[in-house]
Amino acid sequence: MSYEFLSQLGLDSVVSNGQYASVYSADTATAGTAAGFEVTSPNTGEVIARFKDASSEQLESVTQTAVSAFEEFKSLPAPLRGELVRRIGNLAREHKEALAAVITLESGKIVQEALGEVQEWIDVCDFAVGLSRQLHGLSIVSERPGHRMMEQWLPLGPVAVISAFNFPMAVWSWNAMLGFVCGDPIVWKPSEKSPLAALACQSIVNMALETMPEIPRGISQVVVGGRELGQAICEDKRYPLVSATGSTAMGRKVAATVGARLGRSLLELGGNNAMIVSPTADLDLAQRAIVFSAVGTCGQRCTSLRRVIAHESIVEDLTARLLKSYPSLRIGHPAEQGTLVGPLIDEGSFKQMQASIEAAKAQGGEVLYGGDRFTDSVPEGGFYVRPAIVRIAHDAPIVHEETFAPILYILTYNTLEEAIAINNEVPQGLSSAIFTESMREAETFVSAVGSDCGIANVNIGTSGAEIGGAFGGEKDTGGGRESGSDAWRNYMRRTTNTINYGGALPLAQGIVFE
């Protein structure tokens, strides 16, 4: 396979026509001399790059660079920082296909989904550019005569971004594009399974920075390495904010480490997303939404649909429809046209899927379709699977766990209250949906007595969020919100100012101190 798109992104020093270099080094991306690791393409199992984890000395140098870049960056006008993001967005547009090809190569996403991920980055650039002229605070009345109070949002400091393999560009872009307009340098530790995507993004930022010498180059850096490197970043109080995306197990460690030094963490963790299908639902719509949400990205989205909660009166019909759709899904190499389901990320993920299916069977579940390895006309080294449909009780323990693979559990309910209770009974709280034509059911689902998730949709699937809204979830999903709405506030510090423009010094609460 030839990898010309990597040359276009300035990555031929890492990978060139199938060859790999063992060390990548540039002033903005660092690989060191400590333990090494290989990056394999999930599509074929071939090694596409070899890296060494950044050493502690290299991390120290990256952190110092970020700290000094902050000193300059925070005093630049926000619209100027927005101009940088505008240029980054334009370059991402220009290199969209090449960037998507890196995602397909390294994370195994089908081409359309990879292009969609780059589009998310482009969209968040547009959002952030507008935001760079709107980082607004409040003006508040004072109880003291001749005084005014106001609230300002100011740059926070170097922000560390730790990301997962399955959205190797979008998650960073949500954080970094907002962080840049807010005046924060970004240090990014991507997943050890997807460092090439990070280096490709860094190349785009470098191209934009070259056109704006007034912006310090150290505002964007990548450090490559595994969890030890991530842990070292979390311990360092020079990062006032650590934004971490990944499993709930990782989030618990990050929260404890960052919390111990009273830093802030923004956590985007695992989901266990459900869709209620009511007796009034448009089943054609529901069927399409279920298939896309459950098998898209081979079930490796944090918002992937994992549980269908179908009313007893329609569950047979709905299941029959799904059993008709699933066999027609084209499984194959994600770069091939027509493929809808690409591979799992690696063998570990395949084994996890098998273990969950075995657990489901042991807990009374019945596998209605798939779950096995798919080997017809796909590269031998990739772990391709037939997405699974499993009928099981809602309270089987395995149903309450997130298995990061395409397993769809079919559960049943009788009353709406019961369905909502099932939706909410898992530890995670990311995404949820109801398919219904009843206004009462829809409104109940999105109300205070409805879904307890960060995302609650009506007549639309659980995955595929738009960047305009705040993204994230409750409970074991970590409580963080990224991307749209007012998520930008995470990347700034709030200061409350009281200004005395009168000639006296009155105290608050009527206190007289003489």
SS3 of residue 497 by DSSP: strand
Q: Is the CB of 122 or the CB of 269 nearer to ligand NAD?
A: 269
Choose which of 127, 172, 188, 404 interacts with ligand NAD (CB under 6 A). 404
Choose which of 88, 269, 294, 314 interacts with ligand NAD (CB under 6 A). 269
Q: Is the CB of 84 or the CB of 232 nearer to ligand NAD?
A: 232
Active-site entry in 302, 402, 441, 453: 302
| CB < 8 Å & 24+ apart, contacts of 132-140 | 132/78, 132/79, 132/81, 132/82, 132/83, 132/85, 132/181, 133/78, 133/79, 133/82, 135/78, 135/181, 135/182, 135/488, 135/492, 137/494
Q: Is the CB of 250 or the CB of 378 nearer to ligand NAD?
A: 250
Q: Which stretch binds ligand NAD (CB under 6 A): 97-105, 141-149, 157-165, 494-502?
A: 157-165
Q: Is 500 in the site for ligand NAD (CB under 6 A)?
A: no
Closest distance of CB 172 from ligand NAD, Å: 11
Q: Is the CB of 40 or the CB of 287 nearer to ligand NAD?
A: 40
State the pairing for strand pair 264-268/241-245: parallel
Residues 190-229 binding ligand NAD (CB under 6 A) are 191-192, 226-227
Residues 428-457 binding ligand NAD (CB under 6 A) are 430
Within 10 angstroms of residue 9's Cβ, the number of other Cβ atoms is 23
Rounded-to-integer distance, Cα 125 and Cα 118, Å? 11
Task: List alpha helices for 363-459, DSSP H.
Answer: 416-424, 439-446
Residues 282-301 binding ligand NAD (CB under 6 A) are none
Q: Is the CB of 221 or the CB of 278 nearer to ligand NAD?
A: 221
Q: Is 165 in the site for ligand NAD (CB under 6 A)?
A: yes
| CB < 8 Å & 24+ apart, contacts of 487-490 | 487/174, 487/178, 488/128, 488/131, 488/135, 488/178, 488/181, 488/182, 489/153, 490/178, 490/241, 490/243, 490/264, 490/266
Q: Is the CB of 113 or the CB of 192 nearer to ligand NAD?
A: 192
Q: Is the CB of 132 or the CB of 202 nearer to ligand NAD?
A: 202
Q: Is 122 in the site for ligand NAD (CB under 6 A)?
A: no
Closest distance of CB 131 from ligand NAD, Å: 20
Closest distance of CB 416 from ligand NAD, Å: 27
Q: Which residue type is seen at 136?
A: H
Count Cβ atoms within 10 A of the Cβ of residue 461 and give its class: 0-12 exposed, 13-18 middle, 19 or more buried: buried
Q: Which stretch binds ligand NAD (CB under 6 A): 1-9, 139-147, 264-272, 312-320?
A: 264-272
Choose which of 110, 204, 234, 318 interacts with ligand NAD (CB under 6 A). 234
Residue 396 per-residue DSSP state: -
> If binding means CB under 6 A, how many residues of this protein chain bind ligand NAD?
30
The number of residues in the chain equals 514
Rounded-to-integer distance, Cα 501 and Cα 106, Å? 60
Contacts of 505 (CB under 8 A, 6+ apart): none
Strand partners, 483: 470
Closest distance of CB 403 from ligand NAD, Å: 10
Q: For residues 209-219, b (16+ Cβ closer than 10 Å) or e, as one string?
A: beeeeebbbbb
**Cβ–Cβ < 8 Å for 175, 189:** no
Q: Is the CB of 73 or the CB of 488 nearer to ligand NAD?
A: 488
Closest distance of CB 396 from ligand NAD, Å: 20
Q: Is 247 in the site for ligand NAD (CB under 6 A)?
A: yes
Q: Respond yes or no: is residue 268 known to be catalytic.
A: yes
| CB < 8 Å & 24+ apart, contacts of 324-327 | 325/287, 325/291, 326/291, 326/295, 326/369, 326/370, 326/386, 326/387, 326/389, 327/369
Q: Is 270 in the site for ligand NAD (CB under 6 A)?
A: yes
Active-site entry in 268, 402, 441, 482: 268
**Cβ–Cβ < 8 Å for 144, 155:** no
Residues 71-100 binding ligand NAD (CB under 6 A) are none
Q: Is 402 in the site for ligand NAD (CB under 6 A)?
A: yes
Q: Which stretch binds ligand NAD (CB under 6 A): 105-113, 249-257, 278-286, 387-395?
A: 249-257
Strand partners, 429: 474
Give the catalytic positions in this structure. 268, 302
By CB under 6 A, name the binding residues for ligand NAD: 162-167, 171, 189, 191-192, 226-227, 230-231, 234, 245-247, 250, 253-254, 268-271, 302, 402, 404, 430, 477
